[in-house]
Structures are given as structure tokens and as C-alpha cells.
Structure 1
């Protein structure tokens, strides 16, 4: 697998405060990589830079060898709120980016139909977002992002506002969609269990400023189900990542004190 996304020495300051410092990460095509860290580690800032919503103060971000200089359709972004359009039906939400890309009506319909089926939203094709549950609205947001066939799907705490059962349902759903589409995924989450369950790698960021503390490979089968969370291997990996996150947080807190 070739490298599709590369961050090299990325830093970002806000005034005199450094949010990120010397962050270097490479993501291979088709990989699912999760980023975790305590408050102040710059997780969302990092994702905003990759999305092209923020410019790095130092370092570079490249996608397929091309420098990232702003937002673009080759990067699909889904946030915690999902931000679906309340006046558009489910199918018209999914079609939105395809309209901007200028795809023909036939191609838009083909892609929308496929993602409606893939995400289990076919029965809600003509529903408005207000008629959907929180999990269903996030499925719409993910389907809309994927329908444009981005090189990388960027996820910023996408299930953070959902209840525990819905969150786990969405985790299984997301892994299924990732396996079916082969899309490269970079996801930010504060939930270590979620990161270990979803990712093939977990990047741990230290805090103030945010910097890479560890890059932990997840040695679990890619076809894992929720029962994997009870396995000794999973519990050991979760404990390892939690210890890393807490360890770097405690060191920073002690230094500040």
C-alpha cells in the first residue's frame, strides 16, 4: 500500500500558544487510523489542518503527493454534529456533493442508490432529517461524504453525541462501510475503546503542545465484531493506549502544577 496522506513536521500556533508541534504521520491507502489524546492535545486542530480548514504554521500536509492548500472534494469531512441539510431529503442530502461536482443525473442516481443501500437508509430515502434518529442522521452525513468518493474520509468525533448502544451500532456500521468501500479513514476520537475497536493504528497525541507520543498497531482481525471488545487481546490494547494517554496527561498536569 502506498502512502496517500503525509504530515511532515506539522505545527500550529494560535497567538503565542502552540497547539501542535512537529507532528509527522503517514497514512497508507485504505488504512483506518484513529487519533486519541487528552484535552489540549490538538486532535481537532490536526484534523482541521488535514481538511484544509486551517493552515499549518509550520510543516507540510500532502495528499497523494500534492500539498493541501484548502478544502477539496478529495477529503470528505464528518463532524460530531453531522451538519445535514434540514430542508433536503435523505437522498438529496447524499446527492449534494455530487451536484457540486457536476455529475450527470444518471450517475448521481446510481451513486445515491448504492450508498442508500450500503448505509441501510433506503427506507428513509424521502425522509427529512427531523424524521430521523441521531444515528441515522450520522449515517446520512457519512454517506454524503463517501458518495463523492474522497481519497480520505476525515471523522471528527462523529459518534460523540450518541448514546452508548447507538454508538456501538454505528461503530459496527462504520467498519462495514470501510471494508466495503476501501476508503482511507483518519478519525479523531476521545474514546480509547472506540479507537481500538475501529482502527488499524492508534496515534496517541501528548498535550500542550500536541505531538505524537505513540503509534500503536492494532493487532486484531479486520472483520472484528463487538464481541472482540471482550477478548484479552482487545482489553490489553485498550489498557496500553489508556495508559499512554493518561501518562502523558499526568506528566503535563504535574509540570503545570
Structure 2
């Protein structure tokens, strides 16, 4: 194969997405960095040389334009479905339907839209990869996590079903399921900007994962020989052994 490999990373304006863009660029990949916030994308592009593309994965029109612009720019070898997030920590009995819907829109239907839009190009590349960033919430539940857990279980099912449906095709489907990751925005957004609640999630945990840890796992999976498929990787900090049991000092 001639020329660099080319990846599309969604949710690239911060956290795991931005860290993945940086590491892929450092490894010589061409990268299209996708997110809603143009200012952050512009700074990331200036820093890394990635191509910024402003799009909202919950918009069918935006995703159609994304696919058109990305495929016009050359072959596509990898899609990292990173856009997602949690909203609130309400019990099922009192959970907001609107909040559940918003989590399904970005985590589930966003991943579905972008994957469907780029799958033909990934297949045509002859060595395509689809990475789906789920969570340990996709593998087990916890009180107050019902909406996010349900969304991430659904997103994981997209990955596991698609892998079966693509058997024999030159496309790998890889699930990365991080546990406790401390990034600048995830928990703050979950708790509507309440920094104290966000900080309490990590209180006493000596070394939660950081975005670069997860980016390292993503890039490691992408850079295995293409006959090797990492079906699913669960990655937690040593201090966390389940969704509900964490060592706190």
C-alpha cells in the first residue's frame, strides 16, 4: 500500500478524541478530525496537521456532508466512533426521557449514521477498521446509570452485530470499553457543569485513566497486522475492578 493510512475520528474536539488524533498524527496517519466546535477543531488542526471537519453526528444532513467531503479526499482506512457521552445520573424510576433520548441520539444513532455513511469507503480501501468507543457501562450496570448503560449496551450491540455481518470482508470491527477516565469534560457535562459533582467521581482515586491511555489502546488495535482483530478491549485503571467498586484513598 502506498501513501499514509487515513482515519476519521469523531468527537475530536477534546478528551479521548483529541488524544487519538494527536497520537495517530504522531504515527504518520492522515486524520480527519470531526466535532461540532469549530474553534477547538481549528486549534487541534493547527497543532497536529489534522484536517478539521465541523459536523454533528446526530444530524443526518451533517453526516451525509461529512461522508461526501471525507471520501472526496481519498481512501478511508479507519473510523473511530468516539462521539458520545452521559447526561445525568438519575434513577430509572425518575429518569428524564429527554435525557435518555439525547444519549441514544449521540451514542447509538450517531455511531450508526457515521458507520453506515463510511462503510462503503472503508470496505473499498481493502483494509478498513471501525472502532467503537463504548464503556464498561456497555458490559455491566450501576445505580444511576440506566440511560447511559442502556445506550452503551446498544452501541456495543452495533459493533458485535456488524462484525458478524462483515465476516469475509476486509473490515475489522473493534470495541474499546474504557472504565474510569478523567478528562476535562465528560463528568462536568454529565452533571450539567457542576464541577464539585464531577470532581467527586474521582475523589480519592490515585490514578484514574487519562485520555492518552485510551488513545494508546485505540492506536495499538489499529496498528496490529490487519489479519489480527481485537474484538473487544476493556480498559480500567488498576484502582477500579468493576463499575461499582473502586479503591479510594
Structure 1-normalised TM-score? 0.35
Which has more radius of gyration?
1
Higher relative contact order (CA 8 A, sep 6+): 1
Q: Give me the TM-score of the superposition, normalised by structure 2.
A: 0.36
Select the structure that is richer in strand: 1
